[in-house]
Structure 1
Amino acid sequence: MKIDILTLFPEMFPGVLNQSILKRAQENEIVDFSIHNIRSFSENKHRTVDDYPYGGGAGMVLKPEPVFNAIGKLTEGQKQRSKIILVCPQGERYSQQKAEQLAKEDHLMFICGHYEGYDERIRENLITDEISIGDFVLTGGELASMVIIDSVVRLLPGVLGKEQSHQNDSFSTGMLEHPHYTRPATYKGFKVPQELLSGNHALIEKWRQKESLRRTWMRRPDLLDKIDLSDEQKEWLKEIKEES
């Protein structure tokens, strides 16, 4: 996957992109990051990228010219259309399902804005996706882009080593992930559930699914409204409610 990042603060990215899983993904040639300073595509000698909004008001607006120039240059000669992502509070609420969709693409491009907003012609003519990572406002789009990039790259084949490493993540199945335990089996009197020590893989899998359902019902019951539970899961949920 090729990922281009358009930003006014390119120095924010190397520390994140060159660590841990993202670093290994680059070393294994699974993903290629390119960071571009939006100012480099400005048409004036002062490298100005913002201006006052028509009609007045507080703040500055990101001008269309540098963004149009950047995307035109970076997509020149491409046969396949890129996913051009605008990170902004007005966008689609980000989810694991969206991450899985983006992980199937060959080329992602992120536009990280600052100031009061973007010239609307950028949205209308360039953008394929607008994404918000939550109902709050950040200083700029850089941190939100990093969040999205991390969640997408870890889904690419070969990045985590074992494909199953992410298949049971919270939200991948529509529910929260089950609890995890490791050695020692008893610590300060607190014990690991016997099912996990049984060696019975069917019993372990049943425990995990039921505990995933329990955790979802206790912490994010709203998620269950979006899931078609099996008859067995409905029975488990009934038991969980009675136990609680």
Structure 2
Amino acid sequence: MKIDVLSLFPGMFDGVLNESIIGKAQERDLLDIQVTDFRPYSDDVKHHTVDDYPYGGGEGMLLKPQPLFAAMADLDQKRPGPKRVILLDPAGTPFTQSVAQDLSKSDHLVFICGHYEGYDERIRELVTDEISLGDYVLTGGELGAMVIIDTTVRLLPGVLGNDQSAANDSFATGLLEYPQYTRPADFEGRKVPDVLISGNHQKIDQWRLKQAIKRTYLRRPDLLDKMKLTREQQDLLWEIQDELKGID
């Protein structure tokens, strides 16, 4: 996958993109990321101005269209081919695991990171996708781009040591992840559930599914409302609800 980032603060990406899983993916040529400062593309040769006051008045400054149009034109020449161009914007589609899965199928992603009060509306003509991390405001799009890149890249084949790891993540199935344990089996009286050391993989799978449903029911019931539960999942949910009523 190719990823390009257009940012006024490319230095913000140095640590994130060159460490851990993303850094290793680049070393193994599974990923090609380039971060470009689009300020030099400004037609203001002296000051490289990229923002201006909004027509009609108002607070703050807006990104001008010219530098980003010029940066995108140059990018299309240097790295030709189809691209999904993502604008980080509070009005965009909320970012979810399913959105990341969709992005992971693309060959080339481009992120436009804004700053200041917002964008000149004409910049949206460059864009194929508008994405928001949530109902809050960040200083710029860089942090949002980092989150989306990290979430998307780990879904690419070969990036994780075990591709099944991503399939079992929270939200990958619509459920939160089940509780997990490692050694020792008994830590200061806190014991690992017997089923996990039983060696019975069928019972372990059923326990994990039930615990995932229970955790989702208790912490994020809204996720269950969006799911079409299988018969097994529905039966387990009813069982959990009956057990919790008994505790009450």
What TM-score comes out, normalization by structure 2 length?
Answer: 0.96
| Distance in 1 separating the partners of 2:200 and 2:169 | 22
Structure 2 segments unaligned to the other structure (5+ residues): none
**CA distance change for structure 1 residues 77 and 9 in 2, over 3 Å: closer, same or farther?**
closer
| Distance in 2 separating the partners of 1:8 and 1:79 | 23
| Distance in 1 separating the partners of 2:81 and 2:177 | 36
Aligned to 1:76: 77
Q: CA shift at 1:14, angstroms?
A: 0.6
Name the aligned partner's letter for residue 105 of structure 1: S
Aligned to 1:65: 66
| Distance in 1 separating the partners of 2:138 and 2:231 | 43
Report the more deviating stretch, 3-12 or 72-81. 72-81
Aligned to 2:243: 243
Aligned to 2:216: 216
Q: CA shift at 1:78, angstroms?
A: 6.1
Structure 2 counterparts to residues 82-101 of structure 1, below 5 A:
82-101=83-102
Aligned to 1:55: 56
Structure 2 counterparts to residues 10-29 of structure 1, below 5 A:
10-29=10-29
Q: CA shift at 1:233, angstroms?
A: 1.4
Name the aligned partner's letter for residue 140 of structure 2: G
Name the aligned partner's letter for residue 65 of structure 1: Q
**CA distance change for structure 1 residues 222 and 230 in 2, over 3 Å: closer, same or farther?**
same
Name the aligned partner's letter for residue 90 of structure 2: P
Q: CA shift at 1:80, angstroms?
A: 3.6
Report the more deviating stretch, 223-232 or 61-70. 223-232
Q: Does 1:174 align with 2:181?
A: no
- 1:163-195 CA deviation, whole Å, 9 max, x = no partner? 101101111101111111001111111111111
- 1:36-55 CA deviation, whole Å, 9 max, x = no partner? 00102111111110001000
Structure 2 counterparts to residues 98-113 of structure 1, below 5 A:
98-113=99-114
Name the aligned partner's letter for residue 44 of structure 1: D
| Distance in 2 separating the partners of 1:79 and 1:7 | 20
Name the aligned partner's letter for residue 73 of structure 2: G
- 1:138-176 CA deviation, whole Å, 9 max, x = no partner? 000000100000001111111002110110111110111
Aligned to 2:229: 229
| Distance in 1 separating the partners of 2:33 and 2:40 | 17
Aligned to 1:35: 35
Name the aligned partner's letter for residue 82 of structure 2: R
Q: CA shift at 1:79, angstroms?
A: 6.0
- 1:68-94 CA deviation, whole Å, 9 max, x = no partner? 011111112766420000001111000
Secondary structure of 2:131 counterpart: strand
Q: CA shift at 1:99, angstroms?
A: 0.3
Aligned to 1:119: 120
Q: Does 1:197 align with 2:197?
A: yes
Aligned to 2:153: 153
Aligned to 1:44: 44
Aligned length: 243
Secondary structure of 2:109 counterpart: strand
**CA distance change for structure 1 residues 11 and 91 in 2, over 3 Å: closer, same or farther?**
same
| Distance in 1 separating the partners of 2:171 and 2:35 | 30
Q: CA shift at 1:115, angstroms?
A: 0.5
Q: CA RMSD in A?
A: 1.0
| Distance in 1 separating the partners of 2:214 and 2:30 | 36
